[in-house]
Amino acid sequence: MLQQALQHYFGYASFRQGQEEVITQLLEGKDVVALLPTGTGKSLCYQLTGKIKGAPVLIISPLLSLMQDQVNQMKKMGFKRVIALNSFLTREQFTQALNQLPHYEFIFTSPEMLQNELVTNKLRAMPLGLIVIDEAHCISEWGHDFRPDYLRLQTRLNYYNRPPIVALTATATPAVIADIKYVLQMEHASTYIAAIDRKEIHLQRKWFTTAQEKVNWIEDYVSTTLGPGIIYTSSRKRAEQLAEVLRKWHITVAAYHGGVSNEDRQLIQEQFLANDIEWIIATSAFGMGVHKTNIRHIIHETMSPTLSSYMQEIGRAARDGQDALATVLCTQTDYDVLQFLMDTLPSEPMIKQYYAGADQPLRELDQRLLAYWHSMYRCDEAIHYRDELYLSKRRAFDATRNYMETSSCLRATLVQYFEQSVQVVDACCTNCGLQDASFKELRRITHLSAQTPHWTLRLQQMLLK
């Protein structure tokens, strides 16, 4: 039956890894947490389930840009009754969409929108067939830090006769999976965990003395190396600076971050997908849900704050199964950046003053977290909760630092963080014989030839001493 439905609705002859197992569980009415690698078609798990059940599907998505991209992709695939219920809508559009909500097959929205009583009451009155938490690792990685509305899903999705929930992600440690189940109150959910290792992504780590040396290396690398590629930076300012440097080489490059308008971000994404832009310089705001199969390079100008986010970001390469190279650039001062990114929680004195009702200047982030904690915990409980979160962030920081410094296999270090095993192979990473080479010859040869060489040949050229 499932094979026939797959062929009928999507024209595929067979399922990819994990899809059939997840869909089978959902059709049996079970909650599921599914860890499926990037590029294995996680979205088909809920699309086909929705078609078979013939009931509306609610998809909770972390980013507006991702949500809009998913809607556009589904419409291109022939799905007509798809909508994104988000802040992009005018008040008139929102009211109209809410009134017509039962007529849609797939409804995308955010955790914040579900705090609106009009929305949740409307959804609870509908015969939903499935609730989807897309990029479900955000519940654990973002909810405790700066988006407490993710944690409020615990109450918003807990109602009588709710449909099955499927939580989908490409990266999650066992602790994160347990947190997802706890927040969504699906402790007895079935769990499908695929191997997280991506052998086609080769790992490179390079150390420098100064930040300027990093810039020089990026300039040389990108000016002599064909993309497509993504360079991740730690700030909007840095993204713009690097983009400006690379434009001098007449390379098609764009900076992508939260300061870019929604319209421009959408345009940049579409141009990148169409190969009109070769390199994207981005903060972590870019990449989630970007369905580009031939990304060959991922460069981190500064290491990601956690190995989970690093795995997410490098996983955007090599979706076509061909080889790609992920490079992280390191200096001693990067630890200060990572420490700053880790120290985002309100302090104990701030918590005490907030509970005492005292006036104090607060960042918007602190205000959101303290308001949520105040609604959930006593003051001493909030302090204990904060301390536990700090210890968790400290462990994540130590794991990231270990990756930057270890002399062991980088692939093994990364995969073992997720408590999975890996078979180490020669030249899989810097510590296992992977050698950097000059790419000037590579780009010059490519321009002189009438045909771009296959990536396997290009990787072999990369690995030559």
Segment 158-177, tens digit of pLDDT: 888 899 999 999 989 999 99
Cβ neighbors of 117 (< 8 A, separation 6 or more) are: none
pLDDT digits (tens, 9 = 90+) for 323-357: 899 999 999 999 988 888 778 889 999 999 999 99
Q: How far apart are CA 203 and CA 270, in angstroms?
A: 28
Query: 70: closest CA among 316, 229, 291?
Result: 291
State the residue for tokens 């990304």. 295
**Whole-number pLDDT of residue 446:** 37
Q: Please answer whether residues 328 and 207 qualify as being in contact, where contact means their C-beta atoms are separated by less than 8 angstroms.
A: no
Q: Where in the chain is CATH 3.40.50.300?
A: 2-193, 201-336+400-463
**Whole-number pLDDT of residue 436:** 62
List the end-to-end C-alpha distance of the chain, in Å, as a whole number.
54
Q: Please answer whether residues 309 and 141 qualify as being in contact, where contact means their C-beta atoms are separated by less than 8 angstroms.
A: yes
Q: Residues of the chain whose pLDDT is less than 50?
A: 438-441, 443-462, 464-465
**Whole-number pLDDT of residue 377:** 95
Burial class, 259, CB count within 10 angstroms (exposed 0-12 / middle 13-18 / buried 19+)? middle
Determine the CATH number of domain 201-336+400-463.
Answer: 3.40.50.300
Q: How far apart are CA 143 and CA 153, in angstroms?
A: 10
Q: How far apart are CA 166 and CA 19, in angstroms?
A: 12
**Amino acid letter at 438?**
S
**Whole-number pLDDT of residue 87:** 84
Query: What CATH number does domain 2-193 carry, 3.40.50.300, 2.40.10.10, 3.30.390.50, 3.60.20.10?
Result: 3.40.50.300
Q: How far apart are CA 90 and CA 93, in angstroms?
A: 5
Q: How far apart are CA 345 and CA 51, in angstroms?
A: 43
